[in-house]
Structure 1
Amino acid sequence: MFVEPNIGGRSISKAGWVEVICGSMFSGKTEELIRRLNRVLIAQQNVEIFKPTIDKRYSKKKVVSHNENAIHSTPVNFAHDILLRAGHCDVVGIDEAQFFDDEIISVSNELANQGKRVIIAGLDMDFMGKPFSPMDQLMATAEYITKVHAICMECGNIASYSYRRTKSKQTVVLGEKDVYEALCRKCFYEKMDHKPR
């Protein structure tokens, strides 16, 4: 006899899970998210895709990679809004998760507990090279983690850091190559050491 698992007082009727795609700027996170979601669409599964309203760099209503691949999405202000709009789907895609409030962690787990596949993309480190919350906690609770890498714009090695060229100390500063560059560990810390305070 099958007994439904019970987690925190909730029954789980079918297996869901969380996948996190993380890395630096220009590493292909969104490209990988779009690739996985397109495969879901080919399989004719019901999918909902979300992005934070704050991210309007390429499009207000599409998730767009740096290579200009795009997929339709729903912009939302708060993580809880995702729960309200994802009830009927099999798969939930979330881009730029680092821009959401900390509730994105419980929302993602709740969706997985409902039996959904949740695919999340976001920066794992901020411009200081520190873990970017809430991505660090999402990675801790995810079943699958994929770390993608960019190419260092200084030396050509594998890059996993997002160096900010401006003097802003704000954690969230939207920008592209005019504001950020991908760097390897060595080049990142060399530039940070010489950056004007």
Structure 2
Amino acid sequence: MFIEPNIKGERRGWIEVICGSMFSGKTEELIRRLKRARIANLKVEIFKPAIDVRYDEIKIVSHDENAIHSTPIESSQTLLLLAQDADVVGIDEAQFFDDEIANVCDELALRGVRVIVAGLDMDYMAKPFGQIPFLLAKADYITKLHAICVKCGNIANYSYRIIPNEEQIMLGAKNAYEPRCRNCFTLDGALD
């Protein structure tokens, strides 16, 4: 994708959302797009929620250990201040941000920024997660990625929590979650 000028010669911004279950490659795809933007000599700013310290306190790190430097932030409003001169803004784990994240992304796009957002579209109970549904509604481009079900090998849309905990937000990786297809997710009673 490229930043196309509008009739007035200004940049046009847009919102891209990369969503799917855990282990579907969302962060990997986000990193790939951001690295390509840097190759194109675009000014790239990258953010993640400060709560996400699973692999690194600063970097965005995929489950395959690909990494890119980012700025951890507490509030989505901070994006408007820190991304003022950016051509491209990358945001990982968007489901953990506050209720203003979709509006902030919309504001950045109106300023002519390409906004690339990655996040879980469903929580461990297969319910819409955080503000991702609102981001999907505002997105110009949506990429839904799938993992592979660890039980049967079909495509997986669901993040099955393998340890007991009823909190919606519980950071974890392979020790806490596994990808499941609809049938295997349902067979283990997750949708009851």
1:192 aligns to what?
189
2:21–2:146 CA contact under 8 A, matched in 1: yes
TM-score after normalising by structure 2: 0.93
Aligned: 1:19 with 2:16:
yes
Measure how far apart 1:15 and its partner are. 1.1
TM-score (norm 1): 0.91
- The question of 1:103 aligning with 2:104 is answered no
Q: Which runs of 4+ in 1 moved over 3 A?
A: none
Q: What residue is the counterpart of 2:35 in the other structure?
A: 38
Matched, 1:54 2:29: no
Task: Give, in whole Å, the separation in 2 of the partners of 1:70 and 1:117.
Answer: 21
* Matches of 1:174 and 1:192, distance apart in 2: 22
Give the superposed CA RMSD: 1.7
* Corresponding residue for residue 115 of structure 1: 112
Q: Percent identity?
A: 60
Structure 2 unaligned spans of 5+? 1-5
Q: CA deviation at 1:14?
A: 3.0
Aligned length: 187
Q: How does 1:93-172 map to 2 (within 5 A)?
A: 93-172=90-169
CA distance in 1 between counterparts of 2:65 and 2:169 reads 22
Counterparts of 1:21 and 1:172, CA distance in 2: 19
> Residue deviations 1:45-66, cap 9 Å, x none?
0000000000001111101101
| Rounded Cα–Cα distance in structure 2 between residues aligned with 1:115 and 1:45 | 13
Deviation at 1:168, TM superposition (A): 1.2
Task: Name stretches of at least 5 consecutive residues in structure 1 with no aligned partner.
Answer: 5-12
